[in-house]
Amino acid sequence: MAIARVWEEEIVPNDDDCRRLELVPEPMVSFRTGLPISRRRAARERMMRRRRRAIVALGVTLSLVILAWPGHAFGGVTGLGTPADEGTAVLTSGMVYVVQPGDSVMTIARLIDSSDPGLAARALRHELGSSVVVPG
């Protein structure tokens, strides 16, 4: 690029107002101000790493929350195969229950399946081979 500059000089002694047009190279002007590009790139890379870490942390936290959420909240099934919203099952398959004084087959059956304790009581009687439970 160049700049056009007008010179007013006396070239001819008789002509007191003579103008001349001259092209002058434009001085180098730096439009960039501030930090050098290498430092800006390094700062941008640090920012992107922080964003990636935040997204990964959010994903891990969300995954843990979903895994910790109780299954019956999503219409899951209890260990006995009955829908969880039919009744709250205190005892499920594989759990150990210590018989307390005053317990009967029917009270334990209600703990196993509150929606149909008769079925659970029959299964307990069949498993025990008796309708009598002994504390301890």
pLDDT in tens, 18-28: 666 677 777 76
Which tens digits make up the pLDDT trace of 111-122?
Answer: 887 778 888 888
Q: Which residue has the higher pLDDT, 44 or 136?
A: 44
pLDDT of 55: 98
- The rounded distance, in Å, linking the Cα atoms of 39 and 12 is 58
pLDDT of 117: 84
Helix (H) or strand (E) holding 2: strand 2-9
pLDDT of 8: 61
Break the chain into its structural domains and give their ranges: 37-71, 77-128
The type of residue at 6 is V
**How many CB atoms are closer than 10 A to CB 113?**
22
**pLDDT above 80 for 11:** no
Q: Residues 20, 9: contact at Cβ < 8 Å? A: yes
Q: Residues 1, 26: contact at Cβ < 8 Å? A: yes
Which tens digits make up the pLDDT trace of 69-80?
Answer: 776 666 665 555
pTM of this structure:
0.35
